[in-house]
């Protein structure tokens, strides 16, 4: 017996005749089952809403590069060497991996399992959390920019917006991953505090400088589920973008696919057991006055899956009025003048979400 979801998908998405993109997007969205719902329906072809232009896909051959490796930093190493390593990686790559970071491997493993439990439970349970209302602090959806993007990404997402000053009530969180998300959130924000101290020192500032700016007041935990794709050469798991954060801490597991754009090449960030990936976001590039780099990255689709990742975006609050942000005055001189104007968090966030993942950094908008 064919389910109502499958009927809608087969009549509106799978059929090639009388193609109407807006109707296809709505049909996909209204199922509230995401990309996993497509795969579960037995879909053998990638629907048109996911197919990307050839110019976005023809660089995949670069994924075989072996002469570039993302820096790996041992946080338990010599303090000055750690600072120097973070400075170099943040200036040259915008990305690095950290090991010996104090987050127990058992917590990392259970977080991955929790994400799988949520996304692989009954559709009716997940639908309760499905929403496109960005004011909801807990929501499940597929493609936050579904109606803005030129092509959808092959992934589903569960998002938690955690605030240090206003903790989420456990009852608001899905039972399938509630306990581990609370624990992982505590662990990753502690790690973020340590990283902000190291980044402050790498910029020649006092260790508490970035923390005093409330750079980690908000931690948005984004759990991605990338199902196996029948035609991965036609789409992407996540299209090219930079991050709307000061820093992002990423847990990726087993199946690779993350790539960083470095020296005009797409370079693989291979999953390293027990490691966490850290990258510089747009807000830290602005406040560091271009000293630290927020770089484009993407995720490839894959024949095998699911691929799981958990990204923690560290920012200050953007739901309330805060003082404007701009380059840190101590980092500005006659030789290094102001690159960016001051902006409010709301202005930055509104701009980011209005653009979606369009493959371009929005930083130029805020340059002087």
d(CA 76, CA 197): 14
Measured CA distances, 1 to 28, 43, 138, 181, 237 (Å): 20, 16, 33, 37, 31
The structure's pTM equals 0.91
Domains of the chain with CATH codes: 54-366 (2.60.120.330)
With beta carbons less than 8 A apart as the criterion, state whether 130 and 139 touch. Answer: yes
Closest CA to 55 of 200, 193, 239: 239
Q: Starting from the edge strand earliest in sequence, which strands make up the sheet with 265-268, in order?
A: 236-241, 297-300, 258-262, 265-268
The pLDDT of residue 224 is 98
Closest CA to 158 of 224, 256, 77, 72: 224
The pLDDT of residue 321 is 62
The pLDDT of residue 130 is 98
Side-chain half-sphere exposure of 299, counting CA atoms within 13 A: 26
Radius of gyration of the chain (CA): 20
The pLDDT of residue 140 is 98
DSSP 340: B
Q: Which residue has the tokens 């807000």?
A: 283
The pLDDT of residue 324 is 86
Residues with Cβ within 8 Å of 62's Cβ and at least 6 positions away in sequence, in order, are: 259, 265, 266, 267
3-state helix, strand, coil in the chain (%, to 5): 35, 20, 40
Beta strand residue intervals within the chain, DSSP E: 72-74, 95-99, 138-141, 156-163, 218-226, 236-241, 247-253, 258-262, 265-268, 276-280, 297-300, 307-315
Q: Taking the CB of residue 353, how many other CB atoms lie within 10 A of it?
A: 13
State the 10-residue block means of pLDDT for the chain, 368 residues long: 47 56 95 97 95 78 63 97 98 97 97 98 97 94 93 97 90 97 97 98 97 93 97 95 95 92 90 96 96 96 95 87 86 89 86 71 84
The pLDDT of residue 8 is 45
With beta carbons less than 8 A apart as the criterion, state whether 70 and 260 touch. Answer: yes
**Is the omega angle on the peptide bond into residue 306 within 30 degrees of 0, that is, cis?**
yes
């Amino acid at each position: 017996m064919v389910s109502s979801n499958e009927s809608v998908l087969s009549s509106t998405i799978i059929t090639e005749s009388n193609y109407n993109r807006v109707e296809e997007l709505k049909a996909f969205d209204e199922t509230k089952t995401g990309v996993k719902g497509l795969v579960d329906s037995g879909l053998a072809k990638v629907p048109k809403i996911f197919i990307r232009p050839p110019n976005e896909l023809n660089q995949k051959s670069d994924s075989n590069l072996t002469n570039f490796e993302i820096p790996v930093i041992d946080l338990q190493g010599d303090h000055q060497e750690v600072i120097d390593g973070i400075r170099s990686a943040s200036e040259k790559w915008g990305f690095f991996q950290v090991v010996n970071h104090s987050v127990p491997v058992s917590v990392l493993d259970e977080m991955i399992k929790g994400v799988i439990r949520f996304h692989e439970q009954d559709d009716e349970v997940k639908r309760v959390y499905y929403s496109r209302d960005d004011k909801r602090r807990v929501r499940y959806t597929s493609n936050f920019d579904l109606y803005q993007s030129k092509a959808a990404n092959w992934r589903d997402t569960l998002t938690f917006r955690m605030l240090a000053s206003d903790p989420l009530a456990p009852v608001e969180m899905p039972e399938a991953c509630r306990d581990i998300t609370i624990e992982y959130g505590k662990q990753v924000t502690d790690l973020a505090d340590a990283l902000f101290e190291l980044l402050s020192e790498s910029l020649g500032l006092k260790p508490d400088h970035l923390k005093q700016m409330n750079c980690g007041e908000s931690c948005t935990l984004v759990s991605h589920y990338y199902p196996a794709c029948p035609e991965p050469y036609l789409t992407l798991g996540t299209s090219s973008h930079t991050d709307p954060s000061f820093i992002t801490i990423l847990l990726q597991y087993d199946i690779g696919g993350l790539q960083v754009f470095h020296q005009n090449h797409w370079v693989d960030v291979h999953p390293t057991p027990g490691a966490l990936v850290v990258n510089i976001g747009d807000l830290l590039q602005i406040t560091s006055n271009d000293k630290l780099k927020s770089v484009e990255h993407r995720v490839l689709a894959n024949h095998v899956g699911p691929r799981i990742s958990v990204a923690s975006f560290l920012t200050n609050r953007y739901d309330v009025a805060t003082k404007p942000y701009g380059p840190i005055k101590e980092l500005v001189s006659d030789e290094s003048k102001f690159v960016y104007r001051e902006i409010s968090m709301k202005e930055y966030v509104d701009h980011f979400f209005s653009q979606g993942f369009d493959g371009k950094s929005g930083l130029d908008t805020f340059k002087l």
